[in-house]
Amino acid sequence: MHIIQQAAVSVVNQVMSGRNLNQVLSEVVSVQGELTHQQRGALTDISYGTLRYYGQLAKILDALLDKPLQDPQIRYMLLIALYQLQYTKAAEHAVVDHAVSAIRKRNPAASGLVNAVLRNYLRNKDQLIQAAMQAEEGRYSYPQWWINAIKSQYAAQAEGILLAGNQHPPMTLRINRRRTTALEYLKLLTQHEIHARIVEPNAIMLDHAVTVNKLPGFLDGLVSVQDAGAQYAAAILDIHDGMYVLDACAAPGGKSAHLLEIAEIELVSLDKDAQRLQRVRENMQRLQLNATLVVGDAVKPDSWWNGKLFQRILADVPCSASGVVRRHPDIKWLRRPSDIENFAQQQQQILAALWPLLAADGKLLYATCSIFARENQQSVNEFLNQHPDARQLPITAPDVNYGQILPDDQHDGFFYALLHKQV
């Protein structure tokens, strides 16, 4: 276990220094070499879990220390061990012993401190947790500025939103309508003893997540993994056969593929990152779909646009990703208050650049995976004020009101605004 703890220390340390969790985790696994499947799973759980509950764990640790630790490696080891003791089924003595052994190899003088802190936690666990919960950062495990923003914007809904962001995310599948139906695929899952239920006409949510290689027909393109909230985009855009459509920030390609699954369209999938666009290509190949893939910056259409106007544009713009923190808990600690305004400015640039590419009477769907109003309706309002030929359309469907979608047990947080270019 101490090998996994040491690896997790490296992951958390790098993330808290400003790096992306998935990227760091991939690199650490590669460096570690011969980790078993079980060890990789444990490393992922510990890394994600420590970051998910970092605010609470930090409050508990601070209460256990007489003075701040000078060595961040020791601090992260203690946070990781506290996560294991509080949130996993690992044997308490094993967690403590391995943490002490791991620190002894790095800093022999600190092993006694680690042992004392963790055993003190075990003796006073309930009181320490209760004390940590008195502070909002300890209760919700977000930075205080984030908590303040959510409370200011959502009032009575705030606590539910914050707590939802700390849950394990559901695994949802999008049915490829060209190849099967939700009912047919649900039967196929049952035959493979995978329990699931239909949550949208073409969306199935699994009771428990599995690796994609265990999904029947995945490699043959029967289904894709996509959050139910993200699946709303294709329906909202109101595409029809024969249309010329742009997906302006396409990678990794889930929404592009969904558009092609529901209509016979000519689709241009644009992304400025060639490496990420390769993932779009791989998704298209697996699903046996065709799109024109273009490497280019949505803000600079002169470098890639052929001059033909689009009838529909999907602008899934860069954002804080505040609606998907349960999938990416590092976001909570990587974001800064100033980032929100920076993203809002990027969004304005993208909208302004794409609007001239839209044909008269065409529709542009503005989409984010954010729950911050500054990136969502406020950003849309700013654009509307500067473009008199743009009108925001109501977005409704049976049993669903789109717009600001808040995270819950069935989907992540998203925002959609459908803009019509008036003739």
What confidence tens digit (pLDDT) does each residue in 170-201 have?
999 999 999 999 999 999 999 999 999 999 88
> Residues 67, 201: one domain?
no
Under a CB-based contact definition with an 8 Å cutoff, are residues 355 and 387 in contact?
yes
Residue 399: the pLDDT is 47
Residue 313 has pLDDT above 60, yes or no: yes
Catalytically active residues, by annotation: 369
Q: How many domains does the chain have?
A: 3
> Residues 206, 249: one domain?
no
Residue 330: the pLDDT is 97
What confidence tens digit (pLDDT) does each residue in 224-266 have?
999 999 999 999 999 999 999 999 999 999 999 999 999 999 9
What confidence tens digit (pLDDT) does each residue in 62-90 have?
999 999 898 999 999 999 999 999 999 99
Residue 264: the pLDDT is 97
> Residues 404, 361: one domain?
yes
Under a CB-based contact definition with an 8 Å cutoff, are residues 136 and 144 in contact?
yes
When pLDDT is cut at 50, 70 and 90, the band that residue 302 belongs to is very high
Domain membership flag for residue 165: no
> Residues 239, 94: one domain?
no
> Residues 73, 209: one domain?
no
Domain membership flag for residue 55: yes
Cα separation of 102 and 97, whole Å?
9
Q: Return the CATH number at 205.
A: 3.30.70.1170
Q: What is the pLDDT of the chain when averaged over all its residues?
A: 94
Under a CB-based contact definition with an 8 Å cutoff, are residues 74 and 104 in contact?
no
Domain membership flag for residue 154: no
Cα separation of 70 and 326, whole Å?
30
Domain membership flag for residue 412: yes
When pLDDT is cut at 50, 70 and 90, the band that residue 272 belongs to is very high
> Residues 265, 302: one domain?
yes
Residue 106: the pLDDT is 82
Residue 32: the pLDDT is 79
Quote the domain boundaries for residue 187.
172-225
- Which of 383, 388, 254, 273 is CA-nearest to residue 314? 254
Query: pTM (2 decimals)?
Result: 0.93
> Residues 274, 389: one domain?
yes
Residue 34: the pLDDT is 79
Domain membership flag for residue 331: yes
Domain membership flag for residue 34: yes
> Residues 268, 402: one domain?
yes
| Beta-ladder partners of 174 | 203, 224
> Residues 189, 134: one domain?
no
> Residues 6, 101: one domain?
yes
What confidence tens digit (pLDDT) does each residue in 383-400 have?
999 999 999 999 875 445
Q: Return the CATH number at 353.
A: 3.40.50.150
Q: Is the dihedral of CA 210, 212, 214, 220 positive or negative?
A: positive
Please give the average per-residue pLDDT across 126-138, as a whole number: 97
The more confident residue out of 19 and 30 is: 19
> Residues 214, 272: one domain?
no
Q: Is the dihedral of CA 297, 303, 244, 377 positive or negative?
A: positive
What confidence tens digit (pLDDT) does each residue in 93-111 have?
999 999 999 899 888 888 9
> Residues 238, 217: one domain?
no
Residue 22: the pLDDT is 94
- Looking at 107-191, list the stretches that DSSP marks H as alpha helix, in order from N- to C-terminal side: 111-123, 125-132, 136-140, 144-154, 158-164, 182-191
Residue 364 has pLDDT above 50, yes or no: yes
